[in-house]
Amino acid sequence: MKFLKFLLALFILAVAATVIWLWTPGGAKVDEAAIRQTAAEYNTRIIRDNWGVAHIFGKTDPDTSFGLGYSHGEDDWATIQEVVLAARGMSAQYKGKDVAPADYLYDLFKVEEAVIEKAPTHLRADTRAMAKAYADGLNLYAIENPGNTLPGLLPVTEKDVLAGFTWATPFFFRMDETIAELFAAEDRPSVSPWQQESRLDRSMPEAVRGSNAFAVAPSRSEDGHTRLVVNSHQPFVGPYAWFEAHVVSESGYNVAGAGFPGTPVLTQGVTPHHGWAQTVNRPDLIDIYALEVDKDKKPTQYKLDGEWVDFERSKSKFRVKLFGPFSLPVTRDVLWSKHGPVLEAPTGFYALRFAGLQAVGNVEQWYDMGKATSLSEWQATLAENEILSFNMVYADKNGNIGEVYNAKMPDRIEGPNWLEILPGDDSRLIWTGYRDHSDLPQIYNPPSGWLFSANSTPFRITDPEFDNKRENYSETFGIETRMTNRARQSLAQFVQDKAISAEELLRYRANGHYNPDTHIRQMQAEIAAMEFDDETLQKAQRLIKNWNGSTEIADRRTAIVVLTGMHAKGYEFIEDKMPLEDALQEASDDLITVFGRLDPPWGEVNRLRRGDVDLPLRGGPDTLRAIYGHYENFVENKGLTAVAGDTHIMVADWDENGDLSLQTIHQFGAATLDKASPHYADQAPLFARGEYKNMPMTLEEVLPLATRDYRPGQ
């Protein structure tokens, strides 16, 4: 009997120990009084206009960042919480094992260590104050809305905000794609912190990281105005969806634009002086090295220059949610070589070297971009060389325009094929510095009077005689050669127009046609030349053969072409997903199942859906009117639901006196997640029609439009 009691006691102790071990620790105790006291120190006024857009006025720049955090929390708190968790490497503790590889990479990339070590010395005090103020705004919103806040999340800190930038940078550049290449399809981990956008699960189009931008100088515009079109392509919701806002301080900081959840400054914007747009480019900023290690399992050394060198070793520790309040503590080895972080894949050990790894300075450069007041100041901000990549298109009130193929470009030796996996035993291949910004392709004030960017080669961005030449730039840059449909259509429209009016510029921006030289038109020709026995496929073939490249709402040939292209070639029509005949059969079956015919009007198929709003859309994948519809659940969704593409758009117009008029549009509205808000989808009808709203830039212009006027923390 005593023995049984002893066993029972041991069992109870074991259960208790297990419960204690698995019990998820609570967060720090939240001092709400301290949060309110801190908030009261900011002098911030938020005015919501008739579209619900937050116009944030402050005495100082940090006052505006505090208001940006608070207002962003009001409109998209659920997403911001996910961003904060990812910025701490804690996603798996709340979301489970599917995101655990991302938490491991957080530790492998040493994100927290980078912020702790670099932020105090690498960032100015005013930049850090902006990050802190944004976090303070989030904290105030959270304690005022405790039912919406995850346990253990608060307080959000300056470090969280800066780590969010540092952590997101590799995945904005598609680090997940690079890592995926090291694994077979069946064993690829979901390494992106934003699973819904990872190429590894393909539930969202990889093409959404596009964008268009156009700048027209007075010499090329019909009326002597300077114009800039900021036309970013992003997901409609989630951590990379735009939040529109306007910030004004008494120090002269006045930016209308947009940022992502967790960003304390607006990362694309227009000021009374100038404006800038960013489009994704794809320079070679990542290198992979195959390492020779001392043993296949748990190696301790790797070979470099003929010598065995010890790995730098540390531990990754995170928790993985099980159920209820329980989570599993996980500990994994972290290895670094002199090249950088090391990954174990089925085929061996590989080191990564990435220009954006542990980068903390991009937030400061975006801040400075908004503060610039002249072309020379703008160029000085780009010379900071902290923003990892992006084409930058610029225009200002003095009639200057410019385009830079921006990149934090590694300073590599000439000769090796840097696009291939490199041998890890040659230290000459471990680059340590970056090329000067002046070495990058860039054009300011070309005689052509116009510039554009549409995610294609930077050597075809204006009238051909004024373009930069490829041979003048190092092959080590890995500059892309592709020409998107959007680039081809831009050139076809702009080159021939010697006096571009405001109306023409907007029409060109929203062009919904496919150029005859693009992949989808080549696919059209291939299908037209095929032979089919099936009567349905013959009818589909006739529709495709007679298609003129249109994506207009009323066009009855577009649906069968675009759907066939998506099935066969993916969202950008450049993959090899299935044979053309099979793709044509799939598209035909989908259309007949949902619409009872092969030729429904494109507007019945291509939809903008948000709450009770369900509207037809023109445009399609890789058109200048960029619309990416989610097609995997075509039958269940009764067509394509737009999930990415044209999102926040700005049209800036400086007249001959340098006075600014600004129009903008958002695909949905200011209230990102609040379905009860009148601004949840109030801009959707304008967006669907291709229209814009006016954006006021001064307090005097904002006040007549005010629907709310409040001072958070006061």
476-487 per-position pLDDT tens digit: 999 999 999 999
Lowest mean pLDDT among 67-81, 138-152, 186-200, 628-642: 186-200
> Per-residue pLDDT tens for 40-64?
999 999 999 999 999 999 999 999 9
pLDDT band at 198 (very low <50, low <70, confident <90, very high): very low
Residue ending a domain, among 207, 234, 260, is 207
- Cα separation, 563 vs 584, in Å, equals 8
Give domain status of residue 248, yes or no: no
Mean pLDDT of 175-190: 69
Place of tokens 């957080």: 106
Place of tokens 């105030």: 140
- Cα separation, 339 vs 344, in Å, equals 15
Mean pLDDT of 90-116: 92
More confident residue, 22 or 527: 527
* 36 class by beta-carbon count within 10 Å (0-12 exposed, 13-18 middle, 19+ buried): middle
Give domain status of residue 450, yes or no: no
For CA atoms 209, 215, 220, 224, the dihedral sign is positive
pLDDT band at 88 (very low <50, low <70, confident <90, very high): very high
Give domain status of residue 683, yes or no: no
Give domain status of residue 472, yes or no: no
Q: What DSSP letter does each residue of 397-465 carry, written as one string?
A: TTS-EEEEE----B-PPSSS-TTSPEETT-GGG----B--GGGS-EEES-TT-EEEESSS-TT-SSSGG
Give domain status of residue 41, yes or no: yes
- Cα separation, 328 vs 320, in Å, equals 5
Domain count, the chain: 2
Give me the pLDDT at residue 209, please. Answer: 56
Residue ending a domain, among 587, 618, 649, is 618
pLDDT band at 182 (very low <50, low <70, confident <90, very high): confident
Contacts 24+ apart (CB under 8 A), 327-333: 327/22, 327/24, 327/93, 328/22, 329/21, 329/22, 330/92, 330/100, 332/104, 332/107, 333/298
Q: How distant is the alpha carbon of residue 294 from its chain centre?
A: 40
Residue 384 in tokens: 């900071």
- Cα separation, 113 vs 358, in Å, equals 9
Mean pLDDT of 159-179: 82
pLDDT band at 640 (very low <50, low <70, confident <90, very high): very high
pLDDT band at 196 (very low <50, low <70, confident <90, very high): very low
Q: Do 270 and 202 touch, CB atoms closer than 8 A?
A: no
Phi, psi (degrees; rounded to nearest 5) at 179: -65, -40
> Per-residue pLDDT tens for 207-240?
445 799 999 999 999 999 999 999 999 999 988 8
Give domain status of residue 636, yes or no: no
Residue ending a domain, among 567, 595, 618, is 618
Lowest mean pLDDT among 156-160, 187-191, 455-459: 187-191
Question: How many percent of the chain have pLDDT more than 70?
Answer: 93
Give domain status of residue 382, yes or no: no
Give me the pLDDT at residue 206, please. Answer: 45
Domain hosting 551: range is: 519-618
> Which residues, other chains included, contact 516 with Cβ-Cβ below 8 Å and sequence gap of 6+?
549
The CATH number covering residue 73 comes to 1.10.439.10
> Which residues, other chains included, contact 173 with Cβ-Cβ below 8 Å and sequence gap of 6+?
285, 286, 354, 356, 388, 389
Lowest mean pLDDT among 20-29, 143-152, 596-605: 20-29
Q: Do 691 and 683 touch, CB atoms closer than 8 A?
A: no
Is the predicted pLDDT of residue 205 greater than 60, yes or no?
A: no
Give domain status of residue 123, yes or no: yes
What separation in angstroms does the CA of 375 have from each of 274, 277, 534, 558? 8, 15, 62, 44
Choose from 177-181, 311-315, 567-571 the range with maximum mean pLDDT.
311-315
Is the predicted pLDDT of residue 187 greater than 90, yes or no?
A: no
Which contiguous run of DSSP H or E holds residue 366? helix 362-371
- Cα separation, 523 vs 529, in Å, equals 10
Mean pLDDT across the chain: 92
Q: Does residue 189 have a cis bond before it (omega within 30 degrees)?
A: no
Give me the pLDDT at residue 203, please. Answer: 40
More confident residue, 276 or 9: 276
The CATH number covering residue 608 comes to 1.10.1400.10
User: Beta-carbon neighbour count of residue 258 at 10 Å?
Assistant: 25
> Per-residue pLDDT tens for 413-453?
999 999 999 999 999 999 999 999 999 999 999 999 999 99
> Per-residue pLDDT tens for 365-399?
999 999 999 999 999 999 999 999 999 999 999 99
What separation in angstroms does the CA of 237 have from each of 148, 672, 701, 709? 18, 8, 30, 27
